[in-house]
Amino acid sequence: MMESMTFDHWLSLAMMTVFLVGYALIAFEHVLKVNKATIALLVGVICWCLQFFKDGASKMDLEHPFGDYLSHISQVVFFILGALTIVEIMNVHRAFDFLSNFFTVRSKKKFLWLISFITFFMSSVLDNLTTTIVMATLAGKFLEDEEDRWLVGGAVVIAANAGGAWTPIGDVTTTMLWIGGQLTSGMLMRDLFLPSLFCMLFAVGYISKKLQGNLTQESLLSSHVAPEPRSRLIFALGMGSLMFVPIFKTYTGLPPFMGVLLGLSVLWIVTDLIHSQDDRCHLRVPNSLSRIDHAATLFFLGILLAVASLDAAGILKNFAHSVSEYVPDERAIAVLIGFASAIVDNVPIVAASMGMYSMATYPPDSPFWDLVAFCAGTGGSILIIGSAAGVAYMSIERVSFMWYAKNIGLAATLGYFGGILVYLLQSQLL
């Protein structure tokens, strides 16, 4: 690469530099006091500017992939916007208070385990993002201490990512490998259930050491205040519409964000109808819309734009190529993919690895693809910005990047390697 340093290469180098600098600024948000969403947006815009300045391709060649990326990115953004609003509608109706009847445990440790298990199984059906939004919001209602809330939230992120890895519909990257034919659903669930479960168990076991004592009486009481009218109906409708999303996708073939928008518009019509008579403005959707975290959505938009520009520049692919030159072992590559997915979005990484390694080299259901699915799914938990679930959690609880790295990162790494170990043991035995 060095001997042919053209103008385009310099621009690619500049893009990487902008990305890394932006990344550092995001990591030190609490010191700089500049919002991470705006940095992410700026990085996205600048990287795409640099990409468009390249003279290697004509303008038409550039605009086409940009449209493709944008179409994909905006689907994710609209999905998040819709899901956040649905959860917020349920939240203003105090619909989750109804769930609190299930949490009769007193000890914080038991509470942590209960939440983690529910998250794990919920995320194997629902997507990680929705699961995290629902469960982190719910867990936050029971804990008064900020540190406790953050720890339980971290466990939710890890459990959601682990739970998504072992089913074809639970996680975007696993779904990609499933649709691409690299994995079949039966084999996938057989091979990855135990590793995913142990990944969660190791990590949550480590986190539970930091939690002590019982849930306070007040936090139990405050979660039992009088519910808003129709809260049960809204709860059923909200959960139902979220679970309907994959079904809607299967039956109509429309992308998932359309399913989420359908759920949102049903809830919106219902709330408009049942609250039309009284003075209940705070229960209607325009109020919920103003309460959702727009900065988080914009952060997402910025990050996705930035990563897409690196992908369009071929930087991700080049990186993967040079990795496979230095690391010949396939299992080590999969492990590295997991680590990489902690830093950048796992979707382009899995897409790149699907492009790089052909089905001829690794046939369907070969250990390599199993490991890629597991690692890309669970490796993202190591850093807070490594997974959609983490980013959502970051915005719900305003957790800083550094706090997560210090307190949850180690647990997630433990679970990550624990899961890989279980997978290797299991493949020896089976």
Partner 1 sequence: METLDIYSFVMIAIFVVGYIFITLEEWTKINKATVALMMAILCWVIQFIDPYWTPSNNMGSLGEHISSISQVIFFLLGALTVVEIINVHKGFQVISDAIQIKSKRKLLWVVATIAFFLSSILDNLTTTIVMITLIQRLINKGEDRLLIGSAVVIAANAGGAWTPIGDVTTTMLWIGERLTTINIVTSLFIPSVVCMVVALLFLSIPLKGDFNSSVIHLESTHAEPMGRFIFFLGVGLLIFVPVFKILTGLPPFMGMLFAMSLMWIVTDIVHSQYVDRDHLRVPYVLTKIDLSGTLFFLGILLCIDALDAAKILENLAGWLDANIGSVNIIATAIGIASAVVDNVPLVAATMGMYSLEQHPQDSQFWELIAYCAGTGGSMLIIGSAAGVVFMGLEKVNFFWYMKKVTLPAFFGYVAGIIVYLFANGTWGM
Chain positions contacting partner 1, by CB under 8 A: 33-35, 37-39, 41-42, 44-45, 48-49, 52-53, 59, 62-63, 66-68, 70-71, 73-75, 77-78, 252-255, 258, 261-262, 264-266, 268-269, 272-273, 276, 284-286, 289-291, 294-295, 298, 301-302
Comparison of 223 and 309: residue with beta carbon closer to partner 1: 309
Minimum CB separation from partner 1 for residue 219, in Å? Answer: 27
- What is the rounded CA–CA span in Å between residue 311 and residue 65? 10
Report DSSP letters for 137-166, one per residue. Answer: HHHHTT--SHHHHHHHHHHHHHHHHHHHHT
Give the chain's end-to-end CA distance (angstroms, integer): 44
Comparison of 267 and 342: residue with beta carbon closer to partner 1: 267
Comparison of 144 and 272: residue with beta carbon closer to partner 1: 272
- What is the rounded CA–CA span in Å between residue 409 and residue 176? 26
Is the Cα torsion angle 28, 29, 33, 38 positive or negative in sign?
A: positive
Comparison of 78 and 369: residue with beta carbon closer to partner 1: 78
Partners of 107 in the β-ladder: 214
Residue 328: its H or E element: none
Comparison of 62 and 402: residue with beta carbon closer to partner 1: 62
Minimum CB separation from partner 1 for residue 243, in Å? Answer: 17
Minimum CB separation from partner 1 for residue 344, in Å? Answer: 20
Minimum CB separation from partner 1 for residue 267, in Å? Answer: 9
Which amino acid, 137?
A: T
Q: Return the CA Rg of the chain.
A: 22
Residue pair 245/256 in contact (Cβ under 8 Å)? The answer is: yes
Three-class DSSP category at 327: coil
- What is the rounded CA–CA span in Å between residue 205 and residue 187? 28
Structure token digits, residue 26 = 């995001």
Give percent helix, percent strand, percent coil of the chain, each to the nearest 5: 80, 0, 20
Minimum CB separation from partner 1 for residue 49, in Å? Answer: 5
Structure token digits, residue 183 = 């994995």
- What is the rounded CA–CA span in Å between residue 134 and residue 288? 15
Comparison of 145 and 272: residue with beta carbon closer to partner 1: 272
- What is the rounded CA–CA span in Å between residue 80 and residue 391? 11
Minimum CB separation from partner 1 for residue 79, in Å? Answer: 12
- What is the rounded CA–CA span in Å between residue 243 and residue 263? 10
Comparison of 65 and 227: residue with beta carbon closer to partner 1: 65
Minimum CB separation from partner 1 for residue 309, in Å? Answer: 11
Comparison of 246 and 380: residue with beta carbon closer to partner 1: 246
Comparison of 278 and 325: residue with beta carbon closer to partner 1: 278
Minimum CB separation from partner 1 for residue 310, in Å? Answer: 16
Minimum CB separation from partner 1 for residue 368, in Å? Answer: 28
- What is the rounded CA–CA span in Å between residue 371 and residue 425? 13
Partners of 214 in the β-ladder: 107
Three-class DSSP category at 214: strand
- What is the rounded CA–CA span in Å between residue 275 and residue 283? 8
Minimum CB separation from partner 1 for residue 298, in Å? Answer: 8
Comparison of 265 and 361: residue with beta carbon closer to partner 1: 265
- What is the rounded CA–CA span in Å between residue 205 and residue 256? 34
Minimum CB separation from partner 1 for residue 143, in Å? Answer: 24
Comparison of 29 and 228: residue with beta carbon closer to partner 1: 29
Q: How far is CA 299 from CA 37, 42, 306, in A?
A: 4, 10, 11
- What is the rounded CA–CA span in Å between residue 217 and residue 352? 51
